[in-house]
């Protein structure tokens, strides 16, 4: 049965969301995938040179994308915590499997449309989804261990 929200470990939900943000920050640093990601984003047809306001690397208010990102990760962590409860998952292996399944069933599939229809490079999809996969696994590990 689905645990009421009051029975969830809210600290684990917050820690999982913060961990996701840290992974994202590190993943997109220039030495890892940041340079390649930036090159791919700038190369798919958006005229950043003509309109710097469109440049995702230079947002008008840098706190806005971070706030949206944090809210998204909080929702993601909450849903994972609810799924862990609903499925009565308590083993680390099953938690990791849930993270992989959530990534494969939702993140990987739903994020494929820009590459399939808008002709964005599949390399961009690979970089982003590598990050999404690591995030889902780490978040489910945290939520499984701190249940």
Residue 34 CA to residue 73 CA, distance in Å, equals 20
For the stretch 51-63, what's the b/e string if a residue is b when 16 or more beta carbons lie within 10 angstroms of its beta carbon?
A: eeeebeeeeeeee
Residue-wise pLDDT tens digits, 44-73: 655 445 555 555 556 667 688 889 999 999
Within 8 A by CB and 6+ apart from 18, the residues are 73
Average pLDDT, the chain: 88
Reported confidence tier of residue 108, pLDDT bands at 50, 70, 90: very high
Least confident interval from 3-12, 23-32, 120-129: 3-12
In degrees rounded to 5, what are phi and psi of residue 90? Answer: -130, -20
- State pTM to two decimals: 0.85
Residue 61 CA to residue 58 CA, distance in Å, equals 9
SS3 category, 8: coil
């Amino acid at each position: 049965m689905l645990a009421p929200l009051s029975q969830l470990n809210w600290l684990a939900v917050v820690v999982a969301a913060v961990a996701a943000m840290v992974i994202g920050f590190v993943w997109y640093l220039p030495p890892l995938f940041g340079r390649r990601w930036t090159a791919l984003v700038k190369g798919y047809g958006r005229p950043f040179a003509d309109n710097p306001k469109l440049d995702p690397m230079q947002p008008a208010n840098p706190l806005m994308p971070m706030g949206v990102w944090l809210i998204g990760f909080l929702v993601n962590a909450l849903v994972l915590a609810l799924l862990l409860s609903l499925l009565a998952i308590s083993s680390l292996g099953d938690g990791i499997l849930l993270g992989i399944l959530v990534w494969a069933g939702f993140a990987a599939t739903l994020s494929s449309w820009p590459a399939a229809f808008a002709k964005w490079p599949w390399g961009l999809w690979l970089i982003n989804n590598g990050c999404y996969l690591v995030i889902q696994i780490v978040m489910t590990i945290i939520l499984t261990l701190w249940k």
